[in-house]
Structure 1
Amino acid sequence: MNNIHLEITDREGLLYEIEAPTDMNMNLMEVMRAYEIAQDGEIGICGGMAMCASCQCYVQNEEEVVLPKMGDEEQAMLSEAFYVKPNSRLGCQIPVTSQIDGLKVVLAPLS
């Protein structure tokens, strides 16, 4: 099993430094749910379909990680979401792979 290191700051400002497996076909939203980083029912409401923005987060890295390109569904959802910033991404659209080792994100506020 290969693990990567992630730093996730929750909506209250609490930092979680976690190890996430790359061999379980998970995305960032699922990791946040597994580690109970957000209150139950506050993240992944749509089940990871890029339809609710409850897993919106702000990527803090400058160049250290390689994120997948933003797809049309993610762009459409973010165009309708609240508190969107230039570094906003949906956690459900970021697969947990070795390319995101060292990723640092902050969960966006709920609308």
Structure 2
Amino acid sequence: MENIRNAGFDELLAMCGGCLSCATCHVYVEQLPSSANLPVSSIDETELLEGSDYRRENSRLSCQIPFDETLSGIVIGIAPED
């Protein structure tokens, strides 16, 4: 989430600042580097995403994706606002 915001993408609101309480950092993981694995979504993340009209199979909250060098090259799309 911070990487997206720091890159200047204003479309990602991230209103709670990464506290897992708002789902305004909803993204679609479009492409994942072959060497990378994302952690499984927590129950809290899943419940927040269930409230979105735009949820897809590849939906995640960007604040719950810990970024490290294995994610270099990840492709994400920013979900529309609910």
* TM score, norm. by length of structure 1: 0.65
Q: What is aligned with 2:3?
A: 31
- Paired residue type of 1:104: V
Does residue 105 in structure 1 map to residue 56 in structure 2? no
TM-superposition CA deviations, 1:61-104 (whole Å, max 9, x none): 26623111111111111111230000000000001112212110
Does residue 70 in structure 1 map to residue 70 in structure 2? no
- Paired residue type of 1:70: S
User: Unpaired runs of 5+ in structure 2?
Assistant: none
- Paired residue type of 1:106: G
**Which 4+ stretches in 1 moved above 4 angstroms?**
none
Distance 1:62 1:31 in 2: 16
TM-align CA RMSD: 1.6
Q: What is aligned with 2:31?
A: 61
Distance 2:40 2:29 in 1: 13
Higher-Rg structure is 1
Q: What is aligned with 1:48?
A: 18
Distance 2:64 2:32 in 1: 19
Percent of matched pairs sharing the same residue: 33
